[in-house]
Structure 1
Amino acid sequence: MKFKFFRSKPQPVAAMASTGGRVVYAIGDIHGYLDLLDDLLDLIARDFAGLGRTDRPVLVFVGDYVDRGPASRGVVDRLIALVTASAQQGGFEVRALMGNHEQTMLSFLDNAEAGAAWIEFGGGETLTSYGVTRPVGRVDQEAWRDIQAHFQAQVPTSHVAFLQGLELSARYGDYLFVHAGVRPGVPLDRQTPEDLMWIRNDFLAQPHRLACVVVHGHTPDEEPFIGPDRINIDTGAYATGVLTAVRLIDGAPFILQARKSRRT
């Protein structure tokens, strides 16, 4: 599989937006890399401890937890554990957003005809992580129905409920968190789920003209991008071995990264 990176042009640094007094960490597209996620969570915990604050921090995941990497099931397990701890008022307040890859996985669970497109989209690795043999070459619809039935049997109901309950956006002060972006010029209350999960070129090519800084993933770049009205934290972990987070308080954004070891 070939991966395309979208290069962002240099821009002025985002204005000193406010989080409304909260410490917010946002994590980019994980794509089945549990080892990077765990390393980044450790970095975030140490970073927050170093701030010397006693208030409760926020952890926002911007979507794309599954596909392409080897441990989609493990990533979902980890996120469920974090959300459960959050609901019990332990540690970070956790917000988990829906990415287009989660939407596609749910589509295959509902409709076997979505399987062929999902495989091209990185779904084969997700099948494997749940103990389902990925198809080799072109398969007919009857075979896809068999694969779907096996997959449905292997995916825990808690995972399905988690994916179905993912949010489309989160807002803290002047920052709006979404998976892909927003439709420029469209008020926030009229943004469509499709745009929030899938938009790319129309969002990247022009200012969105909304009264917020949009924090997003979805569009992989080798470096995080901090511009005047958006912050991109998708550094293509599946291809670069780098998973990125941004810490937002009141002031300049601060980048944290977990990197795969180059040792063999």
Structure 2
Amino acid sequence: MTGTLRRMVKIAGIALFALVALVILLGPELAPYSATKPVGPPYAAPGQAGLLGTDHLGRDVASRMLHGGRPLVLTGLAAALAGTALGASAGLVAALAGPRGRWLEPLLMRPMDAAAAVPPILLLLLILTALPNRAGLVLAVATASAPLAARVARAAAAQVIGRAHLDAAVARGERWGWLLFREVLPLVGGTLLADAGIRFVTAVYLVAAAGFLGLSTSDSDWGLLIVEALPGAALQPWALLAPVLGVAVIAVAANLAADDLARRSRGLLA
């Protein structure tokens, strides 16, 4: 890929991410109608009753999309940040412990391996049965995200362990906090940022899946919109296509933004 094309892709990714973020954050204020009030006949085509038509109850699909984007993204973001922070912390400390902390590595990583063995959808069902609210949804998605974040962080940190600058810091008697935040984390920051983008995309998928399974915490959750639109997809396909494409656009924009952040981080550290 040439330098010009790479810059164009970078600019397009940043612009797409900024546009998607702006529309999602301002969505409820931009919505022309309520997310719950009928505005026309059921399954009305786009243009007859709203930009994207109406759903099976005559509610405006575009308004429901705008109302549901913010809770979907914010819930996914909170879960991704929590899962990444928990998993990356466990992975980095486990890698840093090495031979000096044989008891610490299994103590940190074996629970992560056990959580990774449970399918994410099953985790959603189990945790949301006990905590059927947004906090439970964040906890479930974070629990599903943490094991993979831990493995990525541990693998990235393992490439740094044993380098001369780290051995010198150990010889000086530096504390673990110094070793972790000043010697290891700056060298693996780009990898962790890129992985955080993947964790966010996965979190958005899982939050949408919770709505699809009827575990939604919002009346306009995009997953709920998908399952409600399935029976009438032949009559009003935009009611189904809109939330599906919305999730896909969020995934693409988040991945492009995460890749750009990772490249910038590596450039600063080079």
Note whether the superposition's TM-score is higher than 0.5.
no
In which range does the TM-score fall when normalised by the shorter chain?
A: under 0.3
Question: Which has more strand, going by share of residues?
Answer: 1
Higher relative contact order (CA 8 A, sep 6+): 1
Question: Which has more helix, going by share of residues?
Answer: 2
Larger Rg: 2
